[in-house]
Structure 1
Amino acid sequence: MWRQRVKTVFDGKGLRGALRILGVVIVTLAGVWIGVALGAHTSTPVGPFQATLSMEPTLYGDSEVDIPPLGSLSFDTHDGPAHISVKMESLDRGRTEALISDRTAITRASEHAVDDVLSGLVRLVLRTLSVSILASMALAALVFRRMSRVALCGGLALVVTGGSLGVALATFRADALAEPRYDGLLANAPAVVGDARKIAQNYTAYADQLQKLVNNVSTLYSTLSSLPTYDPAPGTVRVLHISDMHLNPGAWTVVRSVVEQFKIDVVVDTGDINDWGSEMESSYADSIALLKVPYIYIRGNHDSARTSAEVAQQPNAIVLENGVTTVKGLTFAGIGDPRFTPDKQTRADDSLLTDKTTELVKSTGAKLARTIDAQGGKVDVALVHDPVAAGPIAGHCPLILAGHLHARSVSTLPAEPASGATEDSSLLMIQGSTGGAGLRGLESGTPLPLAMSVLYFSAPDGNGSVALQAYDDIHVGGTGLAQVSLTRKVAPFESVSPTPTPTG
């Protein structure tokens, strides 16, 4: 009998049958591949984001979530030939504004986020199945031109695609979601986020406190009458000084509340709005537009040229790079930090300052001092990121604002000898971290306050001169602490010792 079978094969009958079967398989697999490439994706809203869910054939399975500005996370969720990707494509400005303005929106968004993703995954599976079957049948019609083989390819496509998805479902491991692998940005900086599980747990507590924080800011504003006597005159310009946001996703809510409650005219940011200056972090700057007041920014050592460009695209933002601008009658001069050191720890560390680095930072201060002098001494406020750069500017303008150290302090900075300064000194105000030192702060069990200050300037007089009359230092409780405190200082000002913002 075996001789008869061999003869049949060599006669060509068995070989032709085998080739026909092989052809059906090849056409089916090609159709499935084309269908997945063309149709295995869908779009769905997830909170303020418009997310794209997609599927692609692989040998290892797994899932990936790309969430700007945090980066990409990969999860060993399943085996099999189906890789799932969830990409947050864009931040919807309308939904973001609603999320910030509505005190209950964050809670609702977190409750519906899982349902949004699951709904999108169901649509993705159905779309992948239907498009793969249709693509296989269409390709079979072009190749074979026989309805029986078209139907066979369609049925085989259903088995292949459905089987692949079935393998993924059968091997799904829910506990893998607690053990992500960092890719892209986060792979280069695991210290930025530390223990992802701890951060996730703490951020849930953090988000739960946002409504109370905003409420307390409102209550705080209503009790200003109990603070040292200061009655802002008509025309008083209110400037909010923030710094070192470090990607804290909850800080914008508090900043906007302060802007609205304290009737802020101008927001000044002395840098480090990002951690790594990457493209993934770009969308973090979109919330600047929601403040709806002028926003003056200088680059910190964690901010890249890309970061500055993203900030500059916001309709209310002004980026200063050894430049001068006048807003609400106040003239600001600012310069970005000369370093780009995203690989350093988020917390500033003076031990990392070499003599060469110190001179580099001071040289930017000297450069800004020359720019101020070129304005004829009409600059009211100078902006630098690192206080080291403030030395050469002392005496060239009355007030210098800085950040970088994550500790609030106020001091009188004497002019350097032979610097050509027109005054003996300047008031130096170093801001704490408005972002509570960023995401890494969420690792700590200790509450991390968000620091910011409201500066009150007199209206310009007949000579165009203004004066700082008072300032309020605001500290908003961090993880697990719904507390807001305010300290008011009225001119003349005394030096204030640094109040560090811990970073864990």
Structure 2
Amino acid sequence: MKRKALLFWTCSLLGAALVLFFLSPALYRLGAFRFAVRVLPGLGRTRIELPPVGAVEARTHLTPLDVVLTLRSVDPDQLQRLLGSPGARQAALATLREGGRRIAAHFLLRTLLLAAAGGAWGASWVRRSWPDRGKGAVLSAAVWVLVATGAAATFNVQAFQNPSYSGILKGAPWMLGLAQTAWERLDKLGADVRFLTQNLRQALDRANAAAPLERLQDDIKVLHVSDLHNNPLGLSFIAQIKADFGPDFIVDTGDLTDFGTPLEEGLLARLPALKVPYYVALGNHDSPVIAQEVRTLSGVHLLEGWQAVRGLTLAGRADPTSLSADIKPAGEEAVLAQVTDLSALIQEKGQAPFILAVHDPRVGENFAGVVPVILMGHTHQARVEVKGGSVLVNAGTTGGAGVRGVQSEKEVPLTAALLYVHAQGAAPQLDAVDIIRLYPRAGRFELARTTVGATLRQ
């Protein structure tokens, strides 16, 4: 008799566990985030999954239950409104607290009903009467209440001060301190960026007076930016340069983001507001998620081959690493493969483009002496070099190396390059390149002009 009773209770609890395992996942929206919650048998851990870059988890409670939260999507417009408002940090925390309690209550009620249904189902494996199914439901619901209450009573959010990471996020512990420091600095630095960049026009006038080139005013202006690394200050910098200098189009040589996650799409949503054609060759810190988002943006174009822009030919490719969630720089084989691919593209077209845009200088430098103007990024070092009759331009890091640069003791400048192209002759010619460096913390900027003169022609 005892054996039959034990079998009955075991089947009831097993049925409840199976139903909870397969049917507990539920979708919720909290602020700008949409995520799934589910429970699993486990060791009292809470796991936060951030596809495609990995997960963070910690031992947060004592009951044999794991709670798993998986980020599904981010509303960039709502995130931008939240982070762009006064007191953004406090508002975000308040939203998380209030919404979190509501979601927890709903999820607990949902799983309680699932546990009861699963218990009744499990009981029916050995006893088919409705009273026995009811007993199985009551038992399973009671056990679930004990487990869930125990988890809630012993839950320690401070456990996430010492979490474990998987995937790309293994490199994330240092990011937590950086993010906190950066958030505190961004508001002040944003005001400094706006103030300093408003004086760029005066610097340009001084540069023109020192090295006059009368035809520059009729030249096509190409703004070259790179390595934003999800820094909103970098986008403000670009917007002010656009307002002051009026570039005809912008070429971005990649690393729009730090990890290539949906969480970082908020900055991308602001690119169409620049209202100037924007061409992107993705970098190793970008990903297929970012590529998909860029394709949805009005006026923003992925460089995936050959383009004709304002009478200039522009070619480019995404960094090989951007085709995956890996943020490590491309290996030598991948670099060689991209060089081969671009060489084949040029051979197919029968001529070199006027501008080649790639993220990695190891790729771009192979085309010195072939392509007149080569735009690159990755190194965070802005420079202009004439090599083999080609002009190689590295825009450095328009985002000041992102959150790392904001936190760094030694200030990393926000940098960009403005190219002046004379396109009224038989073939386009690069006249000059301005490298702009902005130091928001130091309260200064630099503008250095390189007069190029004759370059390789198409």
Retained in 1: the 8 A contact 2:119–2:141? no
Retained in 2: the 8 A contact 1:333–1:383? yes
Give the Å deviation of 1:436. Answer: 3.4
TM-score by length of 1: 0.70
Aligned match of 1:412: 386
2:447 matches 1:487: yes
CA distance in 1, matches of 2:150, 2:191: 46
State how many pairs are aligned.
440
Retained in 1: the 8 A contact 2:112–2:141? yes
Per-residue CA deviation, residues 301-321 of structure 1 (Å, 9 max, x unaligned), is 566677656645545343335
CA distance in 2, matches of 1:285, 1:135: 36
2:70 matches 1:87: yes
CA distance in 1, matches of 2:69, 2:442: 33
Retained in 2: the 8 A contact 1:34–1:135? yes
Per-residue CA deviation, residues 443-492 of structure 1 (Å, 9 max, x unaligned), is 7433333322233445x437574644553513354xxx374624152745
CA distance in 1, matches of 2:138, 2:241: 62
2:12 matches 1:52: no
Which letter does structure 1 place at the counterpart of 2:271? L
2:410 matches 1:436: no
Aligned pairs (5 A) from 1:304-315: 311-312=294-295, 314-315=297-298
Q: Which runs of 5+ in 2 are unaligned?
A: none
2:135 matches 1:161: no
CA distance in 1, matches of 2:379, 2:439: 18
Out of 270, 280, 293, the residue aligned to residue 290 of structure 1 is: 270
- From the CA coordinates, give the structure whose radius of gyration is larger: 1
Give the Å deviation of 1:60. Answer: 0.7
Aligned match of 2:436: 473
SS at match of 2:384: strand
Retained in 1: the 8 A contact 2:261–2:287? no
Give the Å deviation of 1:141. Answer: 6.6
Aligned match of 1:182: 165
Retained in 2: the 8 A contact 1:36–1:131? no
- Computed over aligned residues only, the root mean square deviation of the Cα atoms, in angstroms, reads 4.3
Aligned pairs (5 A) from 1:77-476: 77-98=60-81, 102=84, 104=85, 107-108=87-88, 110-138=89-117, 143=124, 146=130, 150=134, 155-187=138-170, 190=171, 193=172, 195-209=174-188, 211-216=190-195, 219-221=198-200, 223-224=202-203, 227-229=206-208, 237-245=220-228, 247-250=229-232, 253-254=235-236, 257-258=239-240, 261-262=243-244, 263-273=246-256, 281=261, 284=264, 287-292=267-272, 293-300=276-283, 311-312=294-295, 314-321=297-304, 323-335=305-317, 370=347, 374-375=350-351, 379-391=353-365, 393-413=367-387, 415=388, 425-438=389-402, 441=405, 444-457=408-421, 460-461=423-424, 463=426, 465=428, 467-469=430-432, 471-476=434-439
Which letter does structure 2 place at the counterpart of 1:52? F
Per-residue CA deviation, residues 114-144 of structure 1 (Å, 9 max, x unaligned), is 3333334323332233223434555667746
Out of 17, 29, 46, the residue aligned to residue 63 of structure 1 is: 46
Per-residue CA deviation, residues 222-256 of structure 1 (Å, 9 max, x unaligned), is 655764237998775443212234x4454664355
Q: Percent identity?
A: 24
Structure 1 consecutive aligned stretches of length 4 or more whose deviation exceeds 6 Å: 230-235, 304-307, 338-346, 356-362
Retained in 2: the 8 A contact 1:214–1:253? no
Retained in 1: the 8 A contact 2:360–2:378? yes
Distance 1:338 1:53, change over 3 A: closer
Retained in 2: the 8 A contact 1:43–1:120? no
Distance 1:249 1:394, change over 3 A: closer
Retained in 1: the 8 A contact 2:315–2:357? yes
Retained in 2: the 8 A contact 1:42–1:124? no
CA distance in 2, matches of 1:257, 1:383: 21
Aligned match of 2:26: 41
Which letter does structure 1 place at the counterpart of 2:65? A
SS at match of 1:229: helix
Which letter does structure 1 place at the counterpart of 2:412? L
Give the Å deviation of 1:72. Answer: 1.9
Give the Å deviation of 1:360. Answer: 6.9
Give the Å deviation of 1:325. Answer: 0.8
